Structure 1
């Protein structure tokens, strides 16, 4: 069962959902509107080999914005730490970002129960698009669990910014 906006609000105050910083004006009918953080990462190699190490270029989004280009892959972050202590979560682009040709989190939208992080966002665009730090570009919803809860202990625990792939840890 998905939480409504009012229930998300109640669960934040009960300590069962974490959204930091929390702004009531970002509550939606069944989700919470997330903002884009100020940092983007871009892989610098034309051939990505996680076993050889991942070289990245860091971009700080200036006040005048930053233009994302098609045929590039960016990693961003939410400005908020978000997660459910007692709930699973999902994050997707909001319709306004999607209507600009921005695709976010198309392959990894699940936030496990107990994963309270600044979400690393997978970002691609269909056309050049100027983005601004602090702009609302995504939404997160929360789901109740059926069965025994187990808190997330994966490789992204404690993420507080953009995190490149840690797939190499799967082979160790």
Structure 2
């Protein structure tokens, strides 16, 4: 079952941590998260799952940055989130999707117990100008039924910055 916005609000500071929190970002069944002013882009065109793929940082200026089509950008939310009771899920906002901007290409499913900033997989269909701090995606929460273990993976837990793929660690 998906939590309503009122239920999310009721759990803030207890079973749901969102920092910074702004009550104006609550929706009927989600909470809007915003884009930090940093992006990462991979240095090589061909990526290798078995190797650490180097990436370079781009700063999004206040006047905006034009993203190129067919290029993967990694961003992150300004907000730190944590929950040990609910399953967090992330989706792009419909307003961004209607501009051909995809915010979370595949990994929108969070694990109960995830703690950190969300790395966003950003991809656009046509050139688009983006801005720092824009409300770009939304988090929502599912209740979880039955016994469960908390997410404890060392790969992405308690991250501070944008997290490129650490899949190469699966091959070690």
1:4-59 deviations in whole A, cap 9, x for unaligned?
Answer: 1111011113x101100000000000000010111100001011013332111100
Q: How many angstroms does 1:78 deviate by? A: 0.6
**Aligned residue for 1:99?**
98
**Aligned residue for 2:26?**
27
**Aligned residue for 1:163?**
163
CA RMSD of aligned residues (A): 1.0
**Aligned residue for 1:18?**
17
**Counterpart-to-counterpart distance in 2, 1:9 and 1:160:** 24
**Counterpart-to-counterpart distance in 2, 1:110 and 1:82:** 14
SS at match of 1:110: coil
Question: Does 2:127 align with 1:131?
Answer: no
TM-score (norm. length: structure 2) = 0.96
1:83-142 deviations in whole A, cap 9, x for unaligned?
Answer: 322101110100111011101112111110110211000010011111111101100100
**Aligned residue for 2:85?**
86
Mapping of residues 137-148 of structure 1, within 5 Å: 137-148=136-147
Point out 4+ residue stretches in structure 1 off by more than 2 angstroms.
50-53
Aligned residues: 171
**Aligned residue for 2:63?**
64
TM-score (norm. length: structure 1) = 0.96
Residues 105, 123 of structure 2: 8 Å contact kept:
no
Residues 31, 138 of structure 2: 8 Å contact kept:
yes
Question: Does 2:120 align with 1:121?
Answer: yes
SS at match of 2:118: strand
